[in-house]
Amino acid sequence: MISLAAPLAQYRAHEEDIRAAVARVLESGNYILGPEVESFERAFAAYCGAAHAIGVANGTDALRLAVMALGIGAGDEVITVSHTAVATAAAILATGATPVLVDIDPVFYSIDTALIEAAITPRTKAIIPVHLYGQPADMDAIRQIARRHGLRVVEDCAQSAGAVYGGRRLGSMGDIGCFSFYPTKNLGAIGDGGAIVSSDAPLAARLRRLRQYGWDDGRVTHEMGLNSRLDPLQAAILAAKLPHLDADNARRAAIARRYEQGLAELPITLPAERRNATHVYHLYVAACDERDALIAHLTKRGVGCGIHYPAPVHQQKGYAERAVLPRGGLPITEQLVSRIVSLPMYPELTDTEVEAALTAVRECLGP
C-alpha cells in the first residue's frame, strides 16, 4: 500500500534527532513553554523572515488568536474562501466575527482577487488568504486591496511552510501569518502545534498575552485570552526538523515534476504554479471528470488518495448558516470539488512508489 501521507516515515527519517530532542526536554524539567519554545520561536521567525513568532497549540488557534489580536469580533466581517479546511472559517466564527466567502480562481484554486472588493462592506476588517495545498495566493493584489480599504491581512499558511512569493517567505507578507504543525504538514509535529508570525512588535506582545489567558508577565490579565501554548516537546521536535524543511520541500517539488511528466498526456488537470512564487506541494491535487472512477481504481491498486476538500465550507452544517456568500454563489468552488483528487505526496515517497502511482493513474485514464 502506498500511503497518501506518511508522518511515521517522516519520524523515521529524523528519528535520532527527534529522540535526542525529546530526551532533552524530559530531562530539563520545563514542561510548559520555557527555553525550548523560545528557541524554536526565534528559529522559526528567522526562517520566515519575520521579527516574532509565537508558538500556540494548533493552527486553528493561531488563526483565532490572530483575529482576536487585531480587535476583530462580533459585528465584524472577514473575507476568505470556502474552498479550504473548515478551520479557517471556524477560527473566524469563534471570535464572533462573520466569514464572508469569495470564490476561488479556476487555475490556482486560491482567492480570486478580482472578486474581493465586491465583498467589502463597512463591517469588513480583514482578509484571510489561504495558501492552499502549498500554493501561494496572489499576495501583491491582496495587499494592494487591503491598503486601499484599510484592511488587515492574515495569511493562512497552514499548508505552506517554506513557500516563497516574490522572494519572501509566506507568513511575512501580511500583518500576521498563521501556521499549523499537524503531523502531515510540511513541517509537522508529533501531535498538534501551531505558530503565529509577525513583525509588528505590539501585535506580537498582545498575541503572547492572548495565548495564555491574557496574562502579562506578572500573571495578571488585562483582557480575556485562551489557553493555547505550544508544548515544549513539540517545539523541540519542530526545531530538530526545521533545518530539513527546505530539502523536504525540494523533494516534494521533484515528485511533483515527475507526476507532471508522467501524467502530461492524460485527461487530467495538473497543479499550476504561480509566476514569481514557489509551490511547496503540501498536497498534490489534480482534477478530472472521472474523479470517482479514478479514486476507486487507485484504491484497488493500493495507491492512497483523497479529496481535499469534498465539501466546501458553505455547504457544511454549522457553517453554511453563518457565512455570507456573494449573490452569484461560488460556482468555481462548487465545480471544483467534484473533480479534485489528491495523489500521494511526502518527502519519503520513493521513486518506485511514485512510478507505481503513475502507472495506476494511467491504467484508469490512459487510452
pLDDT in tens, 23-48: 999 999 999 999 999 999 999 999 99
Determine the average pLDDT of the residues in 335-361.
Answer: 98
Order of strands, edge to edge, in the sheet holding 164-165?
Answer: 168-169, 164-165, 277-278
Predicted pLDDT at 189: 98
- Give the chain's domains with CATH numbers: 7-243 (3.40.640.10), 244-365 (3.90.1150.10)
What is the enclosing helix (H) or strand (E) of 194?
strand 194-198
Residue 251's pLDDT is what? 98
The radius of gyration of the chain from alpha carbons, rounded to an integer in Å, stands at 20
pLDDT tens for each residue of 202-235: 999 999 999 999 998 889 998 999 999 999 999 9
Mean pLDDT of 340-354: 98
So what's the pLDDT on residue 222? 86
pLDDT the model gives residue 71:
97
Q: Which three cell numbers stand for residue 241?
A: 526538523
Q: Is the pTM of this model over 0.95?
A: yes
Task: Tell me the C-alpha distance between 18 and 23, whole Å.
Answer: 9
N-to-C CA span, the chain: 25
Q: Looking at the predicted structure, is the pLDDT value of residue 69 above 90?
A: yes
- pLDDT for 367: 78
What is the average pLDDT value for the chain, to the nearest integer? 97
DSSP strand pairing (152-156 vs 176-180): parallel
User: Measured between alpha carbons, how far is residue 53 from residues 39, 50, 215 in Å?
Assistant: 10, 7, 18
56: pLDDT strictly greater than 90: yes
| Per-residue confidence (pLDDT) for residue 115, from 0 to 100 | 98
With a cut of 90, say whether residue 366 has pLDDT above it: no
pLDDT of residue 97: 98
Q: What is the pLDDT of residues 147-189, one digit of tens each?
A: 999 999 999 999 999 999 999 999 999 999 999 999 999 999 9
pLDDT for residue 253? 98
Pairing of strands 194-198, 176-180: antiparallel
For residue 196, pLDDT beyond 90 = yes
Q: CA of 197: how far to CAs of 7, 103, 225, 351, in Å? A: 24, 27, 18, 35
Going 107 to 6 to 315 to 92, the CA torsion angle's sign is negative
89 CB burial (10 A radius; 0-12, 13-18, 19+): buried
Residue 329's contacts (CB-CB under 8 Å, 6 or more residues apart) are none
Q: Locate all alpha helices (DSSP H) within the chain, ordered by sequence.
A: 7-13, 15-28, 35-48, 59-69, 87-94, 116-119, 139-149, 201-210, 232-241, 245-262, 291-300, 331-336, 351-365
pLDDT score for 200: 98
Dump pLDDT digits (tens) for 234-245: 999 999 999 999
102 touches 134 (CB < 8 A):
no
pLDDT in tens, 70-129: 999 999 999 999 999 999 999 999 999 999 999 999 999 999 999 999 999 999 999 999
Note the pLDDT tens digit of each residue in 262-319.
999 999 999 999 999 999 999 999 999 999 999 999 999 999 999 999 999 999 999 9
Q: pLDDT for 127-150, tens place per residue?
A: 999 999 999 999 999 999 999 999
Find out whether 314 and 330 touch, Cβ atoms under 8 Å: yes
What is the pLDDT, as a whole number, of residue 219?
92
Cα-Cα-Cα-Cα dihedral sign, residues 142, 147, 153, 155: positive
